[in-house]
Each structure stands twice: as structure tokens, then as C-alpha cells.
A and B are shown apart, each in its own frame.
Chain A
Amino acid sequence: MSGVWVVLEERNGKIGRISWEAVAAGLKLGAQLGLAVNAVLPGARTEVLAAEAATKPLAKVVRLVHALLGAYTADGYTIALEQFIRAEQPDYVILPHTYQVRDYAPALAARLGQVLIGDVTALGEGPTFVRQLMQGRLSGDYRHAGGGTCFVSVQSGAFRADQIEGGSAQVESFTPTIEPAQIRTKPGEPFRGSAQTVDLGSAQLIVSVGRGIKEAENLPIVQELAAALGAELAASRPICDNGWLPIERQVGSSGQTVAPKLYLAVGILGAIQHLVGMKGSQCVVAINKDPDAPIFEVADYGIVGDLFEVVPALTEAVKAAKQ
């Protein structure tokens, strides 16, 4: 069997950061088990990207090339990777846990009589693969039983891509056989949600502002933070009542209910009517100058301070971190 193979994913013409994190995971696993670590990159035009991948400390980078892999389809990727895996017989296939991978990897594994161990956050002895259960309340250690290829996908941010050293890998190609009739779904062009309507309910990142902002003129401070984060702007009720922001941006019991990955509450006290609108947030950050503000009870991270100083500083720090 041919070691560890990491499946790289192209996103907007680049290999996304989460794929490099998967490489980091693969390298760690390879080191742990003494296996060679390689990468496979499905797509139609991947010369440049493959060259970039080749600068990582991998043994081989294989371009899985076919015209029908230009746009992602579950059928295309499953058929192509199935053929490649049958040819290569990897011990481990590591994938980044993206929406795309979630769409095809379970089917791919099943086709090969395997089961994907998905959304892994850590590697252990054995190897065991650790993932979260009960919405983060418990951890589970998973093992792969039996022979054949073990499929693993890794959670975004679980492994650090910035610690990968340089290297040089051999670049090869593999062309699978895919008939157009085998592609059963027709994907359309990606689009953003309508610009006019604010859909806080499906926003992943939200910066929310409350009475601590004091004046409407001060809103730009928070708007810049939101822009830096790529987040939607929301507000507690008094802000919307005063007309400083439209009512669609109100979060709370009589407004929107949101469940983003990140909810950053700036100058919000945290009355129950507001809390019930955002308690589904995965990560809550609160910035308020009142250390007794109820919002801190539900926050994962809190800064007690003057938002007029903290927020601009945070905007800069976020911009730097995103580079």
C-alpha cells in the first residue's frame, strides 16, 4: 500500500488554506507511522497549482486530470478518485472537511467498502482519530478496523498549515475515464445571497452593536471591523429603534434569530430578549466596558474595555491575522 495521500481542493483558482492544513495532518500521520506522504489534486487545469503543491515536503503530487473535473460534481470526483485509489491503494486518504468533501467522500468511501472518519480534530496513538460528539460536549476516539484504505477528513483549523516546511515533490498526472453520461447532476454558477435583503439567519460571521456605541456617527468603527472579518452587521433593539440601522438587522426575540460561527457583540449588555436571538452562536465574543454585563455569561471570549479603543485595534489585528 502506498502511504498517505492528501486530497487537495481548489477554491477560487487557489489551493485553499484548509487543504494545506490537511497536508499538515497528513505529514503528522506519515511521521507517526513512517509512511510516505503524497498529494492528489483533482481538476481540469491544475499545472500551476500542482507546482505550488510540489514546494511542500511531499513525495509525489499527482494531478488527477480530466475535462469533466473542471466544475465540481459528486459523480465526477467520486469516479475519478475511485479509479485513482484502486490504482494507488493508499493506506490513508486525508481530505479537508469542506462542504465539497462532505458531498462526495462518504459515497467514495462506501464505494470502496470503507467509512469516512470525518471532521477530525486530533490524531492519537494507534492511530486513533479524535472528533467531537454531542455538539462539542464530548470527544470520541475512532479507529479504523480491517484492511483497505482508511478515509479521514480534518476540521478547519485543527492542524496548522503555517508550520509546514519547504520541500520538493515529483509531479505526475493520472487521467481517469469518465463518460459525460455518468455525471448525473448539473451544477450552476455560485452566487451570493441577494444584496438587498439582509439574511442574518444564515450569516456565518456577525458583528453586533449595542447601545455602547452611543451615537450613530460612531457606527463606522464597527462597520470596519465587520468588513475586516467578512461579517454581517447586526444590532440590538435600541439601535434599530433609533433608526441607526434597519430593522432587518435587529437580533433578538422580536427580531432575527441567528446561529453564526462567530458572534461578536460590541457594546451590548445582553438582556434576555437579545440573548435568545443569538444563543445559537458557536463562538461568542463580547466587548463591553461593564464587567458585570450579562453578555459575558454567554461569551466564550470577553474583553472588558472601551470599545472605541478595542474595536479599531481588533480590526487591525484581524486584518493582520487573515494575511
Chain B
Amino acid sequence: MQPARRDDWTSDHVWWLRSPMTSTLPVLAEPQHFDLAEKLVFAGLAVGSGTLFWRRFGPILKRILASKKDPDFRLRPLGRRAWDFFWEVLCQAKVIRQRPLPGLAHAFVFWGFCAFALVTLNHCAVGLGLGFLDPAGWFGQLYFYLAAAFALLCAAGISGLFVRRFLVRPRWLGEKLSWESGFIALLVFLLMVTYLAAFATADTSEAARVLWWAHTLCLLVFLPIIPHTKHLHLLLSPATVFLSRGGFSRIPPLAGDEDFGLVAGTDLTQLVSLQAYSCVECGRCTEHCPAANTGKVLNPKEIVLGLRSYLSELGPASAESLLGKYNSQEAIFQCTTCGACEFQCPVGIEHLPILIGLRRGAVNTGAWEDDHGGKLFLALERGSNALGMSATDRDKFVQKLELPIFDGTQEYCLWLGCMGGYDPKGREIIADFVRVMRYLDTSFGVLRKEKCTGDPVRRLGNDLVFQQLAEANLEAMALNNVKKIVSICPHCVRTIQEDWKEYGTPPEVEHHSEFLARHLEQLPKIRGEEKIVFHDPCYLGRYRNVYDEPRAVVRASAQLVEAPRSGERSFCCGAGGGLAFLGEETGERVSHVRAKELVDTGATTVGTACPFCNTMFRDALATKGSGAPQLLDIAQLTARALPTVGPSSAN
């Protein structure tokens, strides 16, 4: 018996959807003849499901839209946004790259959902007697088979993810098992199964009808669950990625006299609210967080979810402190601003502006009371450097090395910074870099007086001191006609290039690794047998995307060895975020954990490119005893190949 003619109006009218061929392959069965009662039931359920969905999603959308507008948001240029959307959302690049197997599984599920767009639409249309895709037609066949392929992958993917969550139980997904996630996994699985099974039945069979209803029920139960907790990301995350601030750790300027940062609900902007609601709770941020990995209270995922809870319970108009029930002051001041969290996030959450925003709220209002923090702020209120040392100390050092004073005629202004100017090890690095510059005949000078770039106070959220420092420095730059700066410290480089922009136009600035790499040809090389493990500084790697240049310098000197967590996954030394100036840490010391990792590579030398990393590791390696590897900055590695004119610092 031939299959009855399809009871769909489109195939009468949209002739090109009809295939002239008779297919011998199985065809997706679609139930025929829903009577009015069934159609009404379906419609009623659909409306009910939709209403439930909107009841939950509506308020969330309202809360996001009711939040304060981001004062610095610009939709254009669209290019970057479009690219991020394509690469991160459609291609799932970050999702896969940073956690390959689970990422791929998720990508299959996501692509499956995308592929199913038309399927689902058609499915619902069928329920109302308005099905428009003929499964027997050539397009229908092609599409439904494609969808079937995706369904298989999706089913496999979701099963794998289920196993991961409930059997493997990685700790990044949290302590509690999420039964809701399990239920949703089941629904997705059933959706795929009911779809695939429809290939094995005929249109007229009872089975087809049952499958259709099963599939429908899964859909209608799924819909209202979406706005519940992390499943919101299904709707929001594409928008979140598209609308993100861009850059890395892009700290928004304070807007007006009443803005002190993220103090209460009224300070949460639309972007922050959107990001808070988009969190998938995947835990990638926490997995890479140096604080969370060393027993601190700070957990980046909980910070974001804390904001989400705040918004859900109190809303964006609340005057209650953001650091109260849902997030603690203690946690946010344990952050080294290494950026591993922001870097990892697959849904476009930008943790750093949020964290620094919360710190601003605490510091700019004086709510943060900390002995060491207070001392740092007071030191920079009255003095020139973050260490509270007398400026004459730096003068003595400049005289001792006979460094030329910058007078506007030299090509480079060599920026010493607080570490280069006052720390004994930092000074060694400067001395060696100066030897290299002198060997290359590069014209340079140092400023007579330097004020701290303001990095520690910027990351701690003290806008008053930062503004004072940035403005004073920009004025000094202009006065002294500084066009190009080279610095040994990635923190200085970042702050000068990006953060000073808020108050003026900074001069060009580069890190000494970039300078050295560019001049490698002209420099003598040793290329010894020694093994050097290079530690990527957070502010050079993730913040500035400079990974190859320091490696080129290391390779010119010896054999390069990589630490297990290197490059964009480099594990912080623990000094950033102003933490080098605060008191003792709780839990394990971040620097010790990283030092162990570096030592365990078997390298005889640890190569650094940041004076803060250098100082943190020096302390940590000192506890390893006499077998500990050497610690050398890339400037020292380069300098030791130079013909000795005077005493070398790296012996």
C-alpha cells in the first residue's frame, strides 16, 4: 500500500520541496492526521510551556535590561564582535581547545542543536498540521539525514558528558551533583533517540505518533527549564560573546562623581548582569585559578554565581552591598589578576573587570581595611614608589651604573620601575639589560625621577591614587619628550600602554623581551646544553600575547624546556593584583606550587621575564635547598653571552 498523501499544505504549494525520486532509504516518519483535539492539546501544552518559560526568562531579561547602562559600550567596530561570535560560538573553538574531549562532546551537542533548528520548527508545525519539510523530498532527505548524523554525535556527546558529570565527577563541576543537569541530559538524549527512531517507523504507524508525542513532551518540558540556572547560557551566551567588552581585562572608566565601582546592585551594568546570568558553571575558571588551587577562599565561578544570586534575589536596584551574603571581601582580595579565568571562559564572561570593579567598590569607599594595603596606599600617596623607599636610593643606583639621564634626544627611555629601581634582583636585571643595550649601541636614558606606574593600586581598585600617579606620569612624559619606553616589567608595560589611556595618551612602550628578540641577530649566542624552563608571566603572556619572543631569547642561550602549564595556561607566580605588597597568604603559597612545577621539569635554570616572578621564585626556590635551579631573567641570559667588560651579575 502506498503511503497516503501527506496532509501538509506546503507540499501542495511549494512544489520544489517535493522530490521526483522515490527513495529506497528509510525516511523520517511523521505522524499524519492529528485531529483537532490533539492539535488543541498540543497547542495548549505549547502555550503552557511557553508561558512557563517566559515567566522565568522574562524577569531575568528585565533585570538585565534594568541594570545601569555601560557608559563605555560601543557596538562598533562590528568586525571583532562578528569574529568572536563565529569563532567562539559557532566553531566552539575555546570550548574545544581548552578542554578537548569534553569540549568536543559539548560541541557535538551544540552543533546538534543548531542542526535541529529546522527539525524542531518543522516538528512543531507538523503538530498543527502545518509541516513544511517533506521528508521524502530531496531537500528534506538531505536535511533530515544531516540532522540524523548530528543527532548521533549529539547523543554520543551528551552521554559522554553525563558520564563525566555523574561517574568521573571532576571537582571543577562542584561538590554537589546536579540532578537537574542529569535530567536535561536525559531529555536531550531522548530527543535524539526519538528523532532517530522515527527513521525506523512509517508515517502511519502508532509508533510514529508515540515518538512524535515523546519528542514533543521532551521539548515542552525542556523549554521552561532553560531559564533555570546555568541552562540560560543556551539563550544568552551567544549574545554574551557578541557583546563582550573585548580586549583582556578591559577595566571600564568610572562614570561621574557618584561612581565608585561595584558597590551595590545599582552599580551592576547590563553587561555584568548579562555575564552573570550566562555562567555555565563549567568551572574552567576555577580549574586554572591559582588562588582556588592553593586553598584560598576565592573561587572565580562562585564570584560570578554570587552576582547571579544577588541579581535574582535582590535585583539591580538594590542598595545592599555586593560583598555581603553572596561574595566576600576576603575572597576578592585573594585574586592575583592572572586572568586565567577570563581567558578560559567559553561563554564570554570577563571576570577581571568584575573583580576589579568589586575591589574598587571596597577601596574607593574605604570599606577595605587592610594593614598592608593601607601602607601601600599611604606610601604612594606621599612617595614615589610602591615599596616606600626613599627616592635617593634610586638616585644612588642610577649614579652607580652611570646611567644616562633621558633628555629627549635618546631613542628609548629605559623605565626602571619600582623593582628595577629598588629591588636588588631587579637592579641586577637592569644592569644586564643595560649591558646589552650598550653593546648594541642603543641610545637610551632614564628619567631623573620616576613615580610608580600605579599597577598595584590599579589592580587593587584605588582610583584616587591611580589617577594621581597616571596624571603625574603622563605630565612627566610630555615634559621630558618621551616617545618610546622599554621596560623589564610586564606590569609596567601593561599599565603604561593600557591603563594610562584613561587619563591621556601614553608613549609607545615595549617589554624588553620584544626588544631582545628583535635584536637577536646582532647579539652573540652561547646555545649551551643547559636546560632552561621558561615561566610565562601573566602580564606578558595572557595580557599581551607575547609568548614567542622570550622563547627565542631563551633558545639563543640554551635548551628550552616547557612546564606542564605554559603559554596561555601558565600558572601565576602569585605576585600580581597588588598581592606582592599585601600580607601573608593563607593556604599553600602560590609561588611554591609553581616553583615545584618548574623544578619538577628537571631544568637546571628557571627563566623569567618579570622582576616580580623573579622575586617570588627566589624565595620559593630558596626553600628547595642547594639542589635548586638557578633563577635568571632573559636579560641575564642574553648578557652572559656578551664579552665581559666589567663584572657580570650572572655567574
Q: Measured between alpha carbons, how far is A255 from B583 in the docked complex, in Å?
A: 7
Complex contacts, B426 vs chain A, CB 8 Å: 272
Complex contacts, A272 vs chain B, CB 8 Å: 387, 419, 422-426, 615
Q: Measured between alpha carbons, how far is A270 from B426 in the docked complex, in Å?
A: 13
Q: B residues bordering A, Cβ < 8 Å?
A: 372, 375, 387-390, 396, 419, 422-426, 581-584, 615, 618-619, 622-623
Add 7 more A-B contacts to A270-B424, A271-B425, A273-B615 (CB < 8 A). Answer: A271-B423, A271-B615, A272-B424, A272-B425, A272-B615, A279-B390, A297-B396
Q: A238-B622, A254-B583, A270-B424 are in contact. Are A276 and B389 (CB under 8 A)?
A: yes
Complex contacts, A297 vs chain B, CB 8 Å: 396
Partner of B623, one of A241, A255, A270: A241
Q: Confirm or deny: A32 has a beta carbon within 8 angstroms of a beta carbon on chain B.
A: no
Interface residues of A in 265-283 (CB under 8 A from B): 270-273, 275-276, 279
A140 to chain B, nearest CB (A): 21
Complex contacts, B423 vs chain A, CB 8 Å: 271-272
Q: Confirm or deny: A38 has a beta carbon within 8 angstroms of a beta carbon on chain B.
A: no
Q: Are A279 and B389 in contact (CB under 8 A)?
A: yes
Q: Confirm or deny: A288 has a beta carbon within 8 angstroms of a beta carbon on chain B.
A: no
B60 to chain A, nearest CB (A): 44
CB pairs A–B below 8 angstroms (7 shown):
A253-B387, A254-B584, A271-B425, A271-B615, A272-B615, A273-B615, A275-B389
Complex contacts, A238 vs chain B, CB 8 Å: 622-623
Query: Chain A: which residue is nearest B392 at the CB level?
Result: A137
Complex contacts, B622 vs chain A, CB 8 Å: 238
Residue among A253, A273, A294, A297 with max Cβ neighbours from chain B (10 Å): A253
Partner of B424, one of A241, A247, A294: A294
**B interface: dominant SS:** helix
Q: Are B581 and A253 in contact (CB under 8 A)?
A: yes
Q: Measured between alpha carbons, how far is A270 from B419 in the docked complex, in Å?
A: 14
Q: Confirm or deny: A56 has a beta carbon within 8 angstroms of a beta carbon on chain B.
A: no
Complex contacts, B584 vs chain A, CB 8 Å: 247, 254-255
Query: Chain A: which residue is nearest B589 at the CB level?
Result: A241
Q: Confirm or deny: A237 has a beta carbon within 8 angstroms of a beta carbon on chain B.
A: yes
Query: Chain B: which residue is nearest A280 at the CB level?
Result: B388
Query: Chain A: which residue is nearest B622 at the CB level?
Result: A238
Complex contacts, B618 vs chain A, CB 8 Å: 271
Q: Measured between alpha carbons, how far is A34 from B619 in the docked complex, in Å?
A: 64
Partner of B388, one of A247, A273, A276: A276
Q: Confirm or deny: A257 has a beta carbon within 8 angstroms of a beta carbon on chain B.
A: yes
Complex contacts, A279 vs chain B, CB 8 Å: 388-390
Complex contacts, B390 vs chain A, CB 8 Å: 279
Complex contacts, A241 vs chain B, CB 8 Å: 623
Q: Are B424 and A237 in contact (CB under 8 A)?
A: no
Q: Measured between alpha carbons, how far is A271 from B619 in the docked complex, in Å?
A: 10
Complex contacts, A275 vs chain B, CB 8 Å: 389
Query: Chain A: which residue is nearest B379 at the CB level?
Result: A276
Complex contacts, A271 vs chain B, CB 8 Å: 423-425, 615, 618
In the A-B complex, list the 10 residue pairs whose CB atoms are closest, starting with the nearest. A272-B423, A294-B424, A254-B584, A276-B387, A254-B583, A276-B388, A272-B422, A279-B389, A272-B424, A271-B424
Q: Measured between alpha carbons, how far is A237 from B616 in the docked complex, in Å?
A: 13
Q: Are A254 and B387 in contact (CB under 8 A)?
A: no
Complex contacts, A276 vs chain B, CB 8 Å: 387-389
Query: Chain A: which residue is nearest B397 at the CB level?
Result: A297
Q: Measured between alpha carbons, how far is A184 from B375 in the docked complex, in Å?
A: 38
Query: Chain A: which residue is nearest B623 at the CB level?
Result: A241
Q: Measured between alpha carbons, how far is A270 from B422 in the docked complex, in Å?
A: 12
Complex contacts, A237 vs chain B, CB 8 Å: 619
Complex contacts, B581 vs chain A, CB 8 Å: 253
Complex contacts, A294 vs chain B, CB 8 Å: 424
Complex contacts, B375 vs chain A, CB 8 Å: 257
Q: Measured between alpha carbons, how far is A254 from B580 in the docked complex, in Å?
A: 9
